Amino acid sequence: MDWLEAMFSIVKAWAWLPLGLIYLGILVTILLENRNVNKSFSYIFLLVFFPFIGLIVFYFFGRDYRKRYRLRIREALKKESTQALARKLEESNQQMLTHLQQQFNGASKAAIMLTNSNNSMTLGGNQVELLINGEQKFPAFFEAIRQARHHIHIEYYIMTFDDVGKKLLDLLKQKSQEGVQIRVVADGVGSKNLRQFCRQFQEYQIPYAVYMPVAFTNLASPNYRNHRKILVVDGKVGFVGGLNLDDRYWNNGKHQLFWRDTHLRIEGPAVNMLQLNFKIAWDHLSTEVLPTDPPFFNYDFNIATESPIAISSSGPISARPTGMDAMVVLIHSAKRYVRITNPYFIPSEELKSALITASLSGVKVELLIPGISDSNLVKYASNSYLQPLLDNGVRIYFYQKGFLHAKTMVIDDMVSMIGTLNTDIRSFYINFEITALVYDQVLALALNSQFDKDLQSSTLIDAEEWKNRPLNTRLLESVCRLFTPIL
């Protein structure tokens, strides 16, 4: 029997060889991809010390799709489309950058950076409206759709088949029957019941496309999702911001949790940049190529200086994390104050350093984040980043009225950022995001006033009390922080 036991031992040892080769291949892949050091270390740590868990986490979160053919195609489309539009709007863009340098000093560097990175153009002559929560966003959103005469373009992360979704479908059916062209792009993971929409779209012959569709959304990787929220009507009116198409965002009594969010309505030349980003997504996902001619794009406007806007679009195929870059540049340009509202605060080293440097240089830096979170892992991980900021004079508040989902920043009563960009690694590097940089004092003051109003429902963190919180709490936060590079 000894020879049987020896044979069994040999077979058992060889059975581990394929798994060992898989692990070795994953480790070599992680090293060769030259990821962010912290991110690489996190995956290697999990795979070495928690092999089974590490393999599962890497499968869902770690596989890098950036080299896949379809993303390279999207990058080529983006470059080609941006250059085509830039040739038509170059004069307006350059005049606006000159105006920003004269009127907004250092804050103009963010718009210049976006131009030099071929990410956006800055266009003036816009009208903007700040929309707080679903109570203001959805009526304006639906009214814009009702007024459509030529086309309606929708690109959203979440579309839910509830009261909001059904209202949207009813309007789209009506406008389709009126002859208005409709195109819809939805993310394949964000919208859990997307099939119900797709059946309706097919029935009413409404063209649609699904970004990276999956068979089972609950088992799908959250990486490389289309997190954008865009509406463009007739190439002249656009919406961008944090609110998805879901009942949760409309505080109408159907959900217990109050949802605090911010959106922006834009009318004017800057809508061209929202349209451009929709065009890139549509050209990538469908067989149709949208032209850069009217009425899809609007060139019939006089060069004006009111409300200059640049649209920052970023994603896993971007050469730079331009959303984060824009934030950092604006923070460094601040002279009096920086106010940031964001639901997921897991800052990069660049952002953390910018906030601390600004605070130490005499700028009043205030950060408003959720006191009630939708993820305990993110909440504890986020909390682990707060002490250095508090120690260097940054004022941090926990919003307590409900869940804070707004993604905004306002600088010196001059410049505002409103969009989909969270202050975490996923938004900076992994998902497709879009944010408006608006150089408008009236909007900045309105956003500043809303920040003051939100503070009435918030608690200020005391630096000393925070430092003395229980050891087990700090240990839990530190453990959760280990996972932040892959959250």
DSSP β-bridge partners for residue 411: 338, 415
Phi, psi of 445 (to 5 degrees): -65, -40
DSSP conformation class of 125? -
> Which pLDDT value is given to residue 65?
47
Q: How much is the average pLDDT of 264-291? A: 93
- CA distances, 403 to each of 204, 379, 444 (Å): 36, 12, 23
Q: How much is the average pLDDT of 22-36? A: 58
- Among the options 78, 153, 227, 352, which is catalytic? 227
DSSP conformation class of 461? P
Rounded-to-integer distance, Cα 400 and Cα 394, Å: 19
Residue-wise pLDDT for 366-416, tens only, equals: 999 999 987 788 888 999 999 999 999 999 999 999 999 999 999 999 999
Instruction: Name which residue leads in pLDDT, 68 or 369.
Output: 369
- On the question of pLDDT at 43 being above 70, the answer is no
Is 407 known to be catalytic?
A: yes
- Among the options 234, 246, 261, 440, which is catalytic? 234
> Which pLDDT value is given to residue 105?
86
> Which pLDDT value is given to residue 72?
59
Phi, psi of 69 (to 5 degrees): -60, -45
Q: Give the residue among 422, 431, 78 at the shortest CA–CA distance from 225.
A: 431
- On the question of pLDDT at 486 being above 60, the answer is no
Is 167 known to be catalytic?
A: no
The residue type found at 103 is Q
Residue 92: count of CB within 10 angstroms of its CB: 21
Is 166 known to be catalytic?
A: no
Does the bond joining 295 to the residue before it have cis omega, within 30 degrees of 0?
yes
Confidence of residue 67 (pLDDT cuts 50, 70, 90): very low
What's the mean pLDDT when you consider all of the chain? Answer: 86
Confidence of residue 44 (pLDDT cuts 50, 70, 90): low
- On the question of pLDDT at 70 being above 60, the answer is no
Rounded-to-integer distance, Cα 297 and Cα 291, Å: 8
322-486 and 69-102+128-305 share a CATH fold: yes
- On the question of pLDDT at 109 being above 60, the answer is yes
Is 379 known to be catalytic?
A: no
Choice among 34-43, 174-183, 202-211, 297-306 with the minimum mean pLDDT? 34-43
Radius of gyration of the chain (CA): 24
Helix orientation angle between 271-285 and 69-103, rounded to the nearest 10 degrees: 170
Supply the pTM of this predicted model.
Answer: 0.86
- Among the options 78, 137, 153, 229, which is catalytic? 229
The residue type found at 449 is S
Is 79 known to be catalytic?
A: no
For residues 473, 475, 480 and 484, what is the CA-based torsion angle, rounded to 10 degrees? 110
Instruction: Name which residue leads in pLDDT, 363 or 318.
Output: 363
Choice among 72-81, 120-129, 191-200, 314-323 with the minimum mean pLDDT? 72-81
- On the question of pLDDT at 12 being above 90, the answer is no
The b/e string for 267-298 (b: 16+ C-beta within 10 A; e otherwise) is bbbbbbbbbbbbbbbbbbbeeeebebeeebbb
Residue-wise pLDDT for 141-154, tens only, equals: 999 999 999 999 99
What is 322-486's CATH number, 3.40.250.10, 3.30.1050.10, 3.40.50.300, 3.30.870.10?
Answer: 3.30.870.10
- Among the options 175, 279, 407, 424, which is catalytic? 407
- Among the options 247, 261, 412, 424, which is catalytic? 412
Rounded-to-integer distance, Cα 195 and Cα 220, Å: 16
Q: What is the CATH number of domain 69-102+128-305?
A: 3.30.870.10
User: Residue 15's Cα: distance from chain center in Å?
Assistant: 44
Is 227 known to be catalytic?
A: yes
Choice among 14-23, 131-140, 328-337 with the minimum mean pLDDT? 14-23
Instruction: Name which residue leads in pLDDT, 16 or 191.
Output: 191
**Tokens representing 146?**
């009702």
- Among the options 153, 175, 332, 405, which is catalytic? 405
DSSP β-bridge partners for residue 399: 370, 458
> Which pLDDT value is given to residue 313?
93
Strand 229-233's sheet: what is its strand order? 127-132, 262-267, 237-241, 229-233, 151-156, 181-187, 208-211
Instruction: Name which residue leads in pLDDT, 143 or 68.
Output: 143
> Which pLDDT value is given to residue 62?
56
Looking only at the bridges linking them, the beta strands covering 415-419 and 433-439 are antiparallel
Confidence of residue 58 (pLDDT cuts 50, 70, 90): low
Confidence of residue 194 (pLDDT cuts 50, 70, 90): confident
Per-domain residue ranges of the chain: 2-62, 69-102+128-305, 322-486
Q: How much is the average pLDDT of 421-449? A: 95
> Which pLDDT value is given to residue 69?
45
- On the question of pLDDT at 220 being above 60, the answer is no
User: Residue 232's Cα: distance from chain center in Å?
Assistant: 18
